[in-house]
Amino acid sequence: MDALTVLSIIISSSLFAAAPLIFTALGGVFSERSGVVNIGLEGLMIIGAFTAIVFNLTFASTFGAATPWVALLAAMAVGGLLSLLHALASITFRADQVVSGVAINFLALGVSLFLVKMLYDKGQTDIIKVNFKKVDIPVLSDIPVIGKLIFSNISYPAIVAIALAFVSWYVLYKTPFGLRLRAVGEHPMAADTMGVNVAKMRYTAVFISGLLGGLGGGVYAQSISLDFSHATITGQGFMALAAMIFGKWHPLGAMGAAIFFGFAQSLSIVGSSIPFLENIPAVYLLVAPYVLTILALAGFIGRADAPKAAGTPYIKGSR
Amino acid sequence: MSKRFSNLAVPVVSVLLGLIAGAIIMLISGYDPISGYAALWNGAFGDSFYVGETLRQMTPYIFAGLAVAFAFRTGLFNIGVEGQLLVGWLAAVWVGVAFDLPKIIHLPLSLLAAAAAGALWGLIPGILKARLHVHEVIVTIMMNYVALHLTNHLIRNVISDQSDSTEAVKETASLKSSFFESLTDFSSLHNGIYLGLIAAVIMWFMLEKTTLGYELRSVGYSQHASQYAGMNVSRNIVLSMVISGAFAGLGGAMEGLGTFGNAFLHSGFSGVGFDGIAVALLGGNAAIGVVLASLLFGALKVGALNMPIESGVPNELVEIVIALIIFFVASSYMIKWLLSRFKKEEK
C-alpha cells in the first residue's frame, strides 16, 4: 500500500464516522452557547436514529433513492420536538439542566424501544435497504490528489456536516441572532436589559440542538448501524458532547474535534490493516478520545471555558 | 409551605404523575393499564420468588443511589457511578477468583478491592475538580467509557484467555446465601442486601453525625462560606468523590460477588449507575430516601419483566415511567408551584 492510499482510507473512514458526531456536536454548541447544558444529546440522537429507521423502512418504496434524506427531515422534526421538553423543564420550570438532560436520555430510549416492540413485535428493527453509501463525488473527485484524498469514497452527509459547521460559525459569530444567542449564554441579565428575550432565545437554541441531534442520530442510523435496537446509539451523544467541549464550544473547533474522534474510532476498526498501527492494542485506540478529552479539560491542551451562564436558569429580577 | 412537607410531597407526586402518565400511554397504545399494572405488581411482589428478585435488584440500586446522593450533598454531580461500578465489579471478581483464603478474610478483601477501585475512579475527577476546577460531570462521563473499554480489555486479555467472561468467584468470596435461596424459592437474592442497608446507615451517620459530614454538607451549600470558616474545600471535594466512588464500587461488587458470581464483557453500560441518579433524586439525596427509592425502582424493573407475559405490555413502558418520574422531580419548581396553588384555593 502506498502512502496516498493509506491516507485516503484513513480520511474516508474518519469522515464517515465523524459525520453524525459533527451534526450533534454543533447542536450542543448552539444549546450551551445560549446557556442551556444539554446532556440530552444522547437521547436526541437515539430518537433521531429511531425515527429515521422507522421512516426509512416504512416509506422506502414511496421515496426510492431519496428515502434517507426525507427520513433525515423526519428525524430532525422528532428530535426538535423532544428537545422542547428539555427546554420546557430547564428554562420554564427551572429544573437542573443536567438532570433534565438525563431524563431526556432515559425517555428517548424508553419511548423508542417501546414503539419498536409495538410496531415490529421484536427487540430490533429490520435492516434498511436504502442507506447512505460511500460514493465518489462527481467532478470534484477528478481533481488530482485532493480529489482522491477527500472527494472520493466519501458519504454526502459528511460533506453536508462540514459545510454546516461553517454555516453555524457564520450564524453564531457574524449575525445579530448569533450575538444575541451568545450574549444570553454569557450574561443573560445584560442581554435582558438590552431587550433580548432570554427565554425565547434559549428555547430557539435548544430547539436547534434538537434538530441537529436528531439529524446526527438519523445519519448514524442510516450510514453506520442500518437498523435500530437498544445498542444502536451507545455513547455517540456523549462523544458529541465531548467533541463540543474539546472544540471549546466553537462550531469549527467542535467539527475538528468530531473529525478527530471519528479518526480515533475508525482507527480501532481499520487500524489492523494499516502497517504501523497494527501492533497497537485496540483498547488504547478505544479509550483515546475519552482520555484526550479529560486531558484537554485539565488544561494540558489549552484551557476550555464553558459559557459563563451555562447551567443556570435565568430568573428575572434576581442578581 | 413547610420544607418537610414539600420534601415528601415532591417525590410522591412525581411518582404518581409518572404512573398516571404510564397509564395514559398504555391507553393510547391500546393496552389495558389496569392489567398492565397488575402484572407489574405480581411480577414484583406476587410470590416469595419475585420478592426475592425485587430485593436483589434493589441491592446495587442502594449503593448506586448512595454514591450519587453522597456526592450531591457536597454539591458534586457524579455521573460516573456507572464506570466506578464497573471497575468495582471487576476488582471484586478478580480478587474473588485469584486468591484462596478463608471466607472471613477473602470476602472482606474482595469488597475492599471493589471499594478501592471505585474510589480510585472517583479520585481522578475529584482531584481535577478540586485543583483545576474541571467540571466533574464531563470528566466522570469520560471515565465511564474508559472504565467500560478497560474492564472489557482486562477480562478478555488479562484475567481470562480471550474468553467472554471470567471464572466464577470462589465460594469463599461469594455473597450467595442458601438461607435466602430456601426462603425465596431460589431467587438470586444474596447477602448483599444486608450490606446495602448497613451502607445506608453508615452514610447517614457519616453525613449527619460527624465533623467530616458537617464539612462536606457545608461545602455543598456554599464553597466560599466554608472557605472563610477555615475548611479545606479542595480536600473535602476530593474526599467526597472518593467516598462516592467507593459506594459505587461496592455496588459493582454486589453484582460480581452476588447476583452473577463473575464478570463478563459489556457491550454497553449496565444501566445501574444511571438508574442510581434517578434513585438519589427521588430519595431526596438522603439515606432513608435512597433505600425507599431503590425499593421502588427495584420493584419497577423486576416487575416490568412480567408485563409482557401477563398483559402483553412491552416492559420498556417502565423505562418511560422512570424517565418521567425523573423529569417531574427535576421540575420540582412546577410541582411546588402547583401544590401552593392548591393550598391557596383551600383557604
Burial of B253 per CB tally in 10 Å (0-12, 13-18, 19+): buried
Q: φ, ψ for residue A154 (rounded to 5)?
A: -130, 160
Of the candidates B138, B150, B320, the beta carbon closest to that of A297 is on: B138
Spatial CB neighbours of A99, under 8 Å, sequence gap ≥ 6: B277, B281, B326, B329, B330
Q: Between residues A300 and A197, which one has the greater pLDDT?
A: A197
Residue B110, pLDDT score: 95
Share the mean pLDDT of chain B: 90
d(CA B296, CA B291): 9
**Burial level of B140, CB count in 10 A (0-12/13-18/19+)?**
buried
Which residues of chain B have a CB within 8 Å of the CB of A299? 132, 134
CA distance A34 to B282: 29
Residue of B nearest to A285 (CA): B149
State the cell numbers at A216.
Answer: 446526527
Which pLDDT band holds residue A277 (cuts at 50, 70, 90)?
Answer: low
Note the pLDDT tens digit of each residue in B49-69. 999 999 999 999 999 999 999
* A298: CB partners within 8 A, 6+ apart: B128, B132, B134
- Going from the C-alpha of B60 to that of each of A171, A212, A306, B121, B259, the distances in angstroms are 47, 36, 34, 18, 10
Which has more pLDDT, B331 or A69? A69
Nearest CB to B323; choose among A110, A245, A283: A110
Helices (H), chain B: 3-28, 33-45, 48-73, 81-98, 103-132, 136-153, 178-183, 192-209, 211-221, 223-228, 233-253, 272-282, 287-304, 307-311, 317-330, 332-346
Distance from CA of B268 to the nearest CA of A (A): 6
- Residue listed under C-alpha cell 474535534: A257
Closest CA to B75 of B224, B211, B230, B217: B217
- Measured distance CA(B299)–CA(B276) in Å, rounded: 14
Distances A107 to A88, B36, B114 between C-alpha atoms, Å: 15, 19, 31
Taking residues B181-197, what's their average pLDDT?
A: 88
Query: Which range (A49-53, A112-116, A294-298, B289-293) has the least confidence?
Result: A294-298
Model confidence at B180: pLDDT above 90: no
| C-alpha distances in Å from residue B257, one per residue of A69, B66, B88, B157 | 49, 19, 11, 21
- pLDDT one-digit tens code per residue, A160-173: 999 999 999 999 99
Query: pLDDT tens digits for B212-224?
Result: 999 999 988 888 8
In this predicted structure, the answer to whether residue B31 has a pLDDT above a threshold of 80 is yes
- Rounded to the nearest integer, the mean pLDDT of chain A is 87
- Return the amino acid letter for B190: H
* A142 has pLDDT over 80: no
* Confidence bin at A301 (pLDDT 50/70/90): low
* Contact between chains at A293 and B138 (C-beta distance less than 8 A): yes
Given a contact cutoff of 8 angstroms between Cβ atoms, the answer to whether B41 and B303 are in contact is yes
Residue B165 · residue B263 · CB < 8 Å: yes
Identify the bridge partners of residue A154 per DSSP, sorted by sequence position. A135
Q: What 3-state class would DSSP assign to B176?
A: strand
Residue A122's pLDDT is 85
| A235 interaction partners in chain B (CB closer than 8 Å) | 145, 268
In angstroms, rounded to a whole number, what is the distance separating the alpha carbons of residues B52 and B56?
6
pLDDT surpasses 70 at B325: yes
Q: Is B190 helix (H, G, I), strand (E, B) or coil?
A: strand
**From the CA of A311, how many Å to the nearest CA of chain B?**
11
Distance CA B101, CA A13 (A): 51
Q: Where is average pLDDT lowest: A203-212, A299-308, B206-215?
A: A299-308
**Tell me, what's the pLDDT at B204?**
95
Residue carrying the nine cell digits 486468591: B99
Residue with cell 426475592: B52
The pLDDT, as a whole number, for residue B2 is: 64
Q: Which of B316, B321, B324 is the best mutation test for A, with the most CBs of A within 10 A? A: B316
pLDDT band at B82 (very low <50, low <70, confident <90, very high): very high
pLDDT of amino acid A274: 65
For testing the chain B interface, which of A106, A293, A312, A318 should be mutated: the one with the most B CBs within 10 Å? A106
Q: ∠ CA A287-B238-B216 to the nearest 5 degrees?
A: 140
Instruction: Please report, for residues A37, B218, B235, the alpha-carbon distance to residue B73 in angstroms, rounded to integers and kept in the order given.
Output: 21, 9, 15
- Which DSSP letter does residue A307 get? -
Q: Which residue has the cell 498501527?
A: A277
pLDDT in tens, B259-272: 898 899 888 788 89
Are the C-beta atoms of A95 and A206 separated by less than 8 Å? no
Among left, alpha and beta (phi > 0; psi -120 to 50; other), residue B147 is: alpha
Domain boundaries defined on chain A: 3-297
User: B280 to chain A nearest CA, in Å?
Assistant: 11
Query: pLDDT > 70: what percent of chain B?
Result: 98
**Burial (0-12, 13-18, 19+ Cβ within 10 Å), B57:** buried
- Cβ count within 10 A of residue A295: 13
pLDDT at A302 over 60: no
Q: Decide if A103 and B323 are in contact by the 8 Å CB cutoff.
A: yes
User: What is the dihedral angle through the alpha carbons of A206, B137, A233, B300, rounded to the nearest 10 degrees?
Assistant: -100
A96-105, A243-252, B17-26, B178-187, range with the lowest pLDDT: B178-187
Residue A154 pLDDT level (bands cut at 50, 70, 90): confident
**Pairwise CB contact (< 8 Å): B322 & A241:** no
Q: What is the mean pLDDT of residues B198-220?
A: 93
Query: Which residue did the predictor score with more confidence, A190 or A150?
Result: A190
Whether pLDDT at B202 is above 90: yes
Residue A278, pLDDT score: 65
Give CA–CA dist B236/A60, Å, rounded.
58
As a whole number of angstroms, the distance between CA A241 and CA A237 comes to: 6
Q: Is the pLDDT of residue A1 over 60?
A: no
Query: Going by C-beta distance under 8 Å and a sequence separation of 6 or more, which residues neighbour residue A284?
Result: none
Residue A268 scores a pLDDT above 70: no
Here the ipTM equals 0.83
Q: Which of A260-274, A275-289, B173-187, B228-242 has the highest mean pLDDT?
A: B228-242
Concatenated DSSP letters of B211-224: HHHHHHHHHHH-HH
Q: Out of 1.10.3470, 3.40.50, 1.10.246, 1.10.8, which CATH number does the structure's domain A3-297 have?
A: 1.10.3470
- How far is Cα A30 from Cα A43, in angstroms, rounded to an integer? 17
| Residue B275 pLDDT > 80 | yes
Q: Residue B347 above 60 pLDDT?
A: no
Q: What are phi and psi of A127, to 5 degrees?
A: -85, 135
Instruction: Look at residue B345 and tell me whether its pLDDT is greater than 70.
Output: no
| Nearest residue in chain A measured CA to CA from B329 | A95
pLDDT band at A214 (very low <50, low <70, confident <90, very high): very high
Task: Report how far residue B190's alpha carbon sits from residue B174's, in angstroms, rounded to the nearest whole number.
Answer: 9
**Does residue A144 surpass a pLDDT of 80?**
no
* Tens digits of residue pLDDT in B291-315: 999 999 999 999 999 998 888 888 8
The predicted-structure confidence for A98-132, as pLDDT tens digits, reads as follows 888 988 998 999 999 999 988 888 888 888 888 88
pLDDT digit string, tens, across residues B84-135: 999 999 999 999 999 888 988 999 999 999 999 999 999 999 999 998 888 7
Other Cβ atoms less than 10 A from the Cβ of B27: the count is 12
The most confident of A22-31, A182-191, A287-296, by mean pLDDT: A22-31
DSSP A135: B
Q: Which helix (H) or strand (E) holds A79?
A: helix A67-87
Phi, psi for residue A232 in degrees, rounded to 5: -65, -55
Q: Which amino acid is at B203?
A: M
Best of A297, A308, A314 to mutate (most B CBs within 10 Å, chain B) = A297
pLDDT greater than 70 at residue A272: no
Cell readout for A296 is: 484537554
Rounded average pLDDT over A269-291 = 73
pLDDT in tens, B246-260: 999 999 999 999 989
Phi-psi region of A311 (alpha: psi -120 to 50; beta: other; left: phi over 0): left
User: How much is the pLDDT for A146?
Assistant: 72
Using CA of residue A204, residue A208, residue A214, residue A218, what is the dihedral sign? positive
Instruction: State whether the Cα torsion A122-A127-A129-A130 is positive or negative.
Output: positive
Is the pLDDT at A296 greater than 80? The verdict is no
pLDDT band at B170 (very low <50, low <70, confident <90, very high): confident
Element (H, E) at A9: helix A3-33
What does the pLDDT read at residue A313?
A: 84
Q: How far apart are CA A286 and CA B158, in angstroms?
A: 17
